Amino acid sequence: MPDDPEEGMLGWDESVFRDEHVFEVDYIPETFGHRETQLQSLKYALRPAVRGSRPLNTMVRGPPGTGKTTAVQKLFGELQGQTSVRPVQVNCQVDSTRYAVFSRVFEHVFDYEPPSSGISFKKLFGQITDRLVDDDEVLVVALDDVNYLFYDNEASDTLYSLLRAHEAHPGARVGVIIVSSDLSLDIMDELDSRVQSVFRPEEVYFPVYDEPEIVDILRDRATSGFHQGVIDEPELERVAELTAETGDLRVGIDLLRRAGLNAEMRASRTVTVEDVEAAYDKSKYVHLSRSLRGLSDSERELVKVIAEHDGQQAGEVYEAFHDETGLGYTRYSEIINKLDQLGVIEAEYASVEGRGRSRSLTLCYDPEAVLDRL
């Protein structure tokens, strides 16, 4: 304990952070531990592209926050140096239609966005493949969070176009990596038969990190992101315990950042267990926040209605939703299925006296936490 009470206090121009970006979701760490087997499998699938051939199509699966996106980003970063390979990573939570996916590919190939209207998909696709053939490049497309394409019934058309590119455009060489965090989604079973016949992917699985692995990874982040002595082992282990409860490493990384901000709010040079506990109230909703960010206005409106009518029957919720949006029952039912698949709500069938079977809609999170994040 310092003799001078001010000695442990931060000055106005001081921070506990050495590099706060280390705790952002898009940060790619120099060392990517505990995923050596998965990286080797992905390299094996991508190696033919470096030789000028089509790579092996790959399906990457695992729970949220297990390193899938980071692994692909890391390998794509290495491929950027190969003049014969054009790697493109598409976030399907943002680009959830076939046209949006190919617009993103166009942007990466040409370094500018395609016209926002007036260009057909066929022409857009043709321009992409013509450029690839002219430049003698192999295109590798990673469809990250591909489950969103399934939720919007766009997956089969998107994959069919990519997988059949060499038939429609001779000389085009295209490989596909699909990345999914929805373990309840049977990808192969949900695809059209025309896609199933040509899509025989290598499979790479990313399991949940165990607690010693979480401690190891978070220690590396803390060393890179905080100044020396800001966080000690007991606090780090508490962060790891809370992270292990959720199974999502992103919770732990966000928890470190928020705990650091809490310490700064107290003008303290060190993070305490109390800073960690207080931060967890927000960090535990990382997955919810990410799910809500990817929703359309009408989808967010339905989440709001469900939060206000939590536990009520689907028919009652529909009436409130229709009053707010004017949308019909078919679209309402589609959104319910999507929110159920995303893990935002639970839609369970139950027998209702005098009305047969009806769905009861319940949020998977605290309603106030949901409303706060909409």
Q: Which residues are annotated as a binding site for ATP?
A: 66-70, 209, 221
φ/ψ bin of 292: left (φ > 0), alpha (ψ from -120 to 50), beta (otherwise): alpha
Sheet holding 138-144, edge to edge: 85-91, 138-144, 173-180, 58-61, 202-205
Listed in sequence order, the residues at least 6 apart from 202 whose beta carbon sits closer than 8 Å to its beta carbon are 41, 44, 45, 56, 57, 58, 59
Tokens standing for residue 334:
């589609």
Q: Classify 355 as helix, strand or coil.
A: coil
What does the buried/exposed string (b/e) look like for 152-184 if buried means 16 or more CB atoms within 10 Å of the residue's CB? eebbbbbbbbbbebeeebeebbbbbbbbbbbee
CA distances (Å), origin 304, targets 34, 230, 292, 308, 321? 39, 40, 11, 6, 9
**Annotated binding residues, as ranges?**
66-70, 209, 221
For β-strands 345-352 and 356-363, DSSP reports them as antiparallel
Q: What are phi and psi of 312, to 5 degrees?
A: -85, 165
- Determine whether 82 is exposed, middle or buried from the number of CB atoms within 10 Å of its CB (0-12, 13-18, 19+): middle
